[in-house]
Structure 1
Amino acid sequence: MFHREGQKIILTTFFIVSAIILISQFYVDIPWLRWGLQIVALILLILILQFFRNPTRKTIKNFDEILAPVDGKVVVIEEVEETEFFKDKRRQVSIFMSPVNVHVTRYPASGTVKYSKYHPGKYLVAWHPKSSTENERTTVVIKTPKFGDILYRQIAGAMARRIVNYAEEGESVQQGEDAGFIKFGSRVDVFLPLDCAITVKLNQKVTGAKTCIAAVAIKKDEERETTY
């Protein structure tokens, strides 16, 4: 299954590859050159297909958990000042996607979209410290039942030149549903309340709509109750 954002480029690539194979088959007399052109064309098609793949994932919805919005590797876990929406301190978890990862963005929690905004910007490499505030990006805030407001930010990287964001203010969204797409290498930052429990570690690989990255912290009073 392939993501809808890849339909045009997949069809275009398919026709180009088909043309290269046909032309080389009938008009290139040198065998090694003919086979070389055909193999390169097929590899290009395979790369495009794998990039826009959209595996079906059944999410077990849980109000007590925040799920990874994308596939990739955790590159940042730290307390930061979030300056766009909250304007206070938050726990930031950042996930870097390489070109070989699935690039579908999925809603990390169920709730109501409170804020959704696109920002034009630069194309610094996705792991650059300033990419979160200077690169092309979209910011989405979801009001959740257990965590309050959480924010996730799609960030374009050096290769990513288009961010697709489906979140619209006022709509209800479900954890694990398709929230958008980032093309060709990128990063997603998630900003969470300070009192939540982070459940991932640096350099850990995560799966979108599957891996829990944060959970509601158990308060001391609740811990005492569980021991009785």
Structure 2
Amino acid sequence: MQPNYPHPLLAREGWPFIGGSFVLALLASWLCGAWSAPLWLIFVFCVQFFRDPPRQIPGGDKSVLSPADGRIVAIEPVRDPWLDRDALKISVFMNVFNVHSNRSPMDGDVVQRWYHPGKFVNADLDKASLENERNALHVRTAGGQDITCVQVAGLIARRILCYVEAGAKLTRGQRYGFIRFGSRVDLYLPTDVRVKVAIGEKVSATSTILAELP
């Protein structure tokens, strides 16, 4: 478990939504009684959406951890569009019921960060990786392996948050970003990794090992 985890239970990105929905629901209860039920449902949704529990960190230095909660929707050899290299892409799709904190899959240095504006098509579709709004990090491990970690906005998600820049150091499981309301994260890995997950498998940020570096 990470020491001094900065967002116990509820992500700070959600505090305005949680607080605002609670005040509105409370006010509606006082004024309208049972008619306030829809607002209480919105409050409950905000609490579950912005939950942000700390996670155990498994594996060793060569274990590539999941950067997000969700479901594996792609495992395929591709051309990494950010580093212009052959790579293996593993994509994790997050629906609105998943935890939406994004966490570093490896220890490493952030070599470069890119932001690309784009569309907001369904993040479950392959074309979302190339057409949607996205934020990419090039992370280089101590062993010289390059990993590209891409936050991709979705149909409902309209806000990508990333808290690191080029030159930053990341540690395994470190929280580096957040995407509001449904999205995906693409990892571009070296082609010789050993994949540990399968299409359709549900994964958890940090606590699921996606692959092992050679």
TM-score range, shorter chain: over 0.9
Where do 4+ consecutive residues of structure 1 move more than 6 Å?
none
| SS state at 1:109 partner | coil
| SS state at 1:202 partner | coil
Aligned to 1:87: 84
Aligned to 2:5: none
Show structure 1 runs of 5+ residues with no match: 26-34, 218-228
Q: Which amino acid aligns with 2:125?
A: H
Q: Is the 8 A contact 1:93 1:190 kept in 2?
A: yes
Aligned to 2:54: 56
Aligned to 2:96: 99
| SS state at 1:101 partner | coil
Aligned to 2:38: 40
Aligned to 2:17: 9
- Is 1:145 paired with 2:153? no
Aligned to 2:6: none
| SS state at 1:13 partner | helix
Aligned to 1:124: 121
What's the CA shift string for 1:190-225, capped at 9, x where partnerless?
Answer: 0000111111111011110011101023xxxxxxxx
Q: Is the 8 A contact 1:147 1:193 kept in 2?
A: no
What's the CA shift string for 1:51-92, capped at 9, x where partnerless?
Answer: 0000111324621110000010000000001122x2121000
Higher helix share: 1
Percent sequence identity is: 35
Q: Is the 8 A contact 2:65 2:205 kept in 1?
A: yes
CA distance in 1, matches of 2:191, 2:134: 23
Show structure 2 runs of 5+ residues with no match: 1-8
Please state how far the C-alpha of 1:38 moved relative to its aligned partner: 2.5
Please state how far the C-alpha of 1:146 moved relative to its aligned partner: 3.5
Q: Is the 8 A contact 1:51 1:100 kept in 2?
A: yes
| SS state at 2:184 partner | strand
Please state how far the C-alpha of 1:39 moved relative to its aligned partner: 2.1
The equivalent position to 1:171 in structure 2, one of 168, 176, 184, is: 168
What's the CA shift string for 1:98-122, capped at 9, x where partnerless?
Answer: 1000011000001111111221110
Tell me how large the CA RMSD over aligned residues is. Answer: 1.2
CA distance in 2, matches of 1:154, 1:216: 21
| SS state at 1:56 partner | coil
| SS state at 1:191 partner | strand
Q: Is the 8 A contact 1:79 1:89 kept in 2?
A: yes
Aligned to 2:66: 68
CA distance in 1, matches of 2:15, 2:40: 17
Aligned to 1:158: 155
CA distance in 1, matches of 2:49, 2:132: 22
User: Normalization by structure 2: what TM-score?
Assistant: 0.92
Q: Is the 8 A contact 1:64 1:146 kept in 2?
A: no
Please state how far the C-alpha of 1:147 moved relative to its aligned partner: 6.0
